[in-house]
Every structure is written in C-alpha cells, then in structure tokens.
Amino acid sequence: NNPALLIREIRRCRNGRELRHIRERAEGLMKKYIYQEVAIAFISTVMSEVNDELIAQSIKLSQAEMDEEGHERPAAGFCWLALGSEGRQEQLLRTDQDNALIFENVPEEEHEPVKNYYLKLAEKVTAMLHEVGYDYCPGDMMASNPSWCLSLEDWKEQFSKWIFEPSPKAVMYCTIFFDYRPIYGMKELSAKLTEHIFEDIGAQAIFLGFLAKDAVQNPPPLTFFRNFVVESSGEHKDEFDIKARSMMPLADAARVLILDAKVGKINNTFRRFEKLAELEPANRELYEQAADAYEILMRYRALQGLKNKDSGRYFKPSELSKMERVNLRNCFQPIKDLQTLLTLRYQLAYLR
C-alpha cells in the first residue's frame, strides 16, 4: 500500500470496479496513517494525489468509452475542476461529489454540440466516480449539471454575477465554487478564470464584506457553560456537527482572507492560514493557531468516520474522552478570534 504504487496501479485500471478496489486500499493506508498519528498535512497530500488520479483515470476511461460509441471529440479542450473538500485537498474519507467543467470558448454555432459532448462526458465520469464510491451530490453540484458545465466565457460571466450581485444564494455558491482546483485537462483555463475573478474582486471590494458576513454566521460551538452545541432535533439529535460548527467557520474565514490577499494558488485551509501568517506578522499567532486547530479537527473527523464507518461529520460529545473534549474546545477559540477580526476588518456592523 505504498502511495506511489497505488497511483501506478490506478493508471492501469480499466473500469470503475478496479478503481474502487484501489480506493479501498488507499483508505486502509489512510487509516494506518491516522492511527500512527502521521501529520495531517502529509495524509491530506497523499489522499488528494490518490483522489486526483482516480478522477483523472475515470475521465480517461469515460472519454475512451465515448470514442467507442462514435462521439467525436471536439477541437475545444476542457478542464475538470474539483470543488469543496476535494478542491481544498481535505477529503480524507469518501464524501459526495462536487465538481465542474470548463471548456474552451467556441464560435456560437459550435457551442451547443460542444457543450452536449462535455455534458455527456460528465455524466459518464460522475457515474464512474459513483461506482468508485463517491456519492452523487444531493445538491447536484456536479459537472453533469448544465449549470456547471460551461465555456470559459460563460464561467467568467457566472462568477461576475455572483461577485457584483452578492445575494445570499450567490454567496452560498461562492463558498463552494471559490475553492475550485484543476484536476485534469487544460489547467490554463482554470488560471484564466482565476485571473478574471481577482480582477472582479478588485473592482467590487464590498464583495469580500458579504463573504466575511457569511463567514461569521456560525459562532464558536460552545454554550454559556462550555458544553458543545449539538443538534436539537432530527436524525442527528444530540450529536455534534464538526463540519458545520467548527470546520466550515475556519475554512470560510481562510477563504475570505486569502482572496483579500490576492493569493490564488493555495486552496487548502491550513495552508491558507500558514500563508496568511507569513503575510500578516501582526496576526501570525492567530493564523498559526487556526491552522493547528483545523488539522486537529480534520483528524477528529477522520477518527470518528473510521470508528462509525461514515463521513465522520456527526458524533456524540459524550462518547469522547475528557482529554478529547478539552482538545476540541481549544480549537474553538481561534474561530471566535477570527470572527472578531473579520467583523472589524470588513466593518460588518455597517453592512446590510
């Protein structure tokens, strides 16, 4: 179960079943790393490389299948994007898919057939990824959705609309799509989109205020008596949502601050904080604490997922040891401090 060997084997796979087998072996390797307390930064890098290769091979196999079916490949190239946790290189356990596709601009008369080809390809790829073990996104944030399979020009227009008309729904989309990362194909398409986004943000500085406002919506998850804030009803009643209550507030804060710093090539949350610590010496300690907290939270989520054989998102605080509860509580202070920083920096008290 050497990572380099797994990647070589992925490139020799000929169907989704074989890819699934490799992914299961990779999860066994990740489990060993977690229990050996290997650094999360290393584990996330290894698992991202494996995930990226699984996606790339799924695309290659799907394109070959379309060739056999007689679908002519368009001259316009494309780039497959990972979104969400895979875009941030933070997907340790299998979760649902979040992806998108950019294709090169083409003359108007060619647009529909080119888009139809890439939609068909995306349907095959997402189906194969589902076979590998990545569930379909319940919100349909996938390249097989016509809304997220667009030409470069259409993607530029979409991001411009979100940036210049930051409605609550637009901001919600931004928290998903702004973490995109090119996985396969013409990565220069992704670079051109990033360049456009930073130009728009520069022209619409208040947009970052709306992102910051969204990032402070979830306060630190402790009650007045320092108990964990748990779900009050539903399927996960009395369970703690580590993703929504503690990981996303940190990821959201890091995203706003790194966009403001005009750094476009770092997607991973704890690496974003490490970069921010370099750029802002006055806040170095806070950013380093936030980076450490995020790595700890990633480890806890992975441990809970391995224990409960699920995504690790929900668990009962009562089942943690006293030391584990203390460690988790210590992760919540940087959330509070970051939200104070965002509130002051972006003058959120005056933003309506």
Quote the pLDDT of residue 1.
Answer: 67
Whether 251 has a pLDDT exceeding 80, the answer reads yes
Give me the sign of the Cα torsion angle 90, 275, 294, 36. Answer: positive
Helix (H, G, I), strand (E, B) or coil at 240: strand
Same domain, 146 and 232: no
The stretch 39-58 carries a mean pLDDT of 96
Mean pLDDT, residues 234-243 taken together: 92
* Composition of the chain by helix, strand, coil, percent to 5: 65, 5, 30
Where in the sequence is the domain holding 153, given as residue range(s)? 3-204
Q: Are residues 95 and 193 in the same domain?
A: yes
Specify whether 214 is located in the same domain as 346: yes
Looking at the 3D structure of the chain, how many domains does it have?
Answer: 2
- Does 193 have pLDDT greater than 90? yes
Give Cα separations from 175 to 168, 200, 320 (angstroms): 11, 16, 30
125-150: pLDDT as tens digits: 999 999 999 999 999 999 999 999 99
pLDDT digits (tens, 9 = 90+) for 293-344: 999 999 999 999 999 888 899 999 989 999 999 999 999 999 999 999 999 9
Domain shared by 213 and 200, yes or no: no
Same domain, 225 and 247: yes
pLDDT at 2: 87
Question: In terms of domains, do 316 and 179 share one?
Answer: no
56 and 165 belong to one structural domain: yes
pLDDT band at 59 (very low <50, low <70, confident <90, very high): very high
Q: Give the pLDDT score at 352.
A: 73
Mean pLDDT is lowest, of 80-89, 229-238, 271-280, for 229-238
Q: H-type helices in 36-167, by residue range?
A: 40-68, 84-87, 108-132, 152-164
Out of 151, 178, 204, pick the residue that ends a domain.
204
Query: In the predicted model, is pLDDT for residue 73 greater than 90?
Result: yes
Residue 285 pLDDT exceeds 70: yes
- Tell me what pLDDT residue 226 has: 72
Of the three residues 204, 228, 251, the one that is the final residue of a domain is 204
Residue 25: which residues within 8 A CB-CB, separation 6 or more?
A: 1, 6
Q: Write down the pLDDT at residue 221.
A: 86
Question: Is the pLDDT reported for residue 225 higher than 80?
Answer: no
Which residue bears the tokens 């996938």? 142
Residue 223: per-residue pLDDT? 79
Is residue 174 within 8 A of residue 162, CB to CB? The reply is yes
Are 15 and 144 in the same domain? Answer: yes
Write down which residue in 142, 169, 204 finishes a domain.
204
Are both 193 and 251 inside the same structural domain? no
Give the predicted TM-score (pTM) of the model.
0.95
Do residues 250 and 152 both lie within one domain? no
Picking from 106, 113, 109, 13, the residue whose alpha carbon sits closest to that of residue 73 is 113
Cα separation, 261 vs 274, in Å, equals 13
State the average pLDDT over residues 29-56.
Answer: 95
83 & 195 share domain: yes
User: What band does 224 get if pLDDT is binned at 50, 70 and 90?
Assistant: low
pLDDT for 222: 82
Three-class SS of residue 278? helix
**What does pLDDT average to over the chain?**
95
pLDDT score of 270: 96
- 217 and 291 together in one domain: yes
Picking from 243, 183, 182, 178, the residue whose alpha carbon sits closest to that of residue 211 is: 178
> Tens digits of per-residue pLDDT, 81-123?
999 999 999 999 888 999 999 999 999 999 999 999 999 999 9
The size of the chain, in residues, is: 352
Mean pLDDT on 198-224: 92
Dist. CA 119–CA 8, nearest whole Å: 28
Report the pLDDT value the prediction gives residue 220, as an integer from 0 to 100: 87
Compute the C-alpha angle 78/207/276, nearest 5°.
Answer: 80
Distance between CA 133 and CA 322 in Å, rounded? 34
Contact 89, 48 (CB under 8 A): yes
Give per-residue pLDDT as tens, 148-191. Answer: 999 999 999 999 999 999 999 999 999 999 999 999 999 999 99
What's 336's domain CATH number?
1.20.120
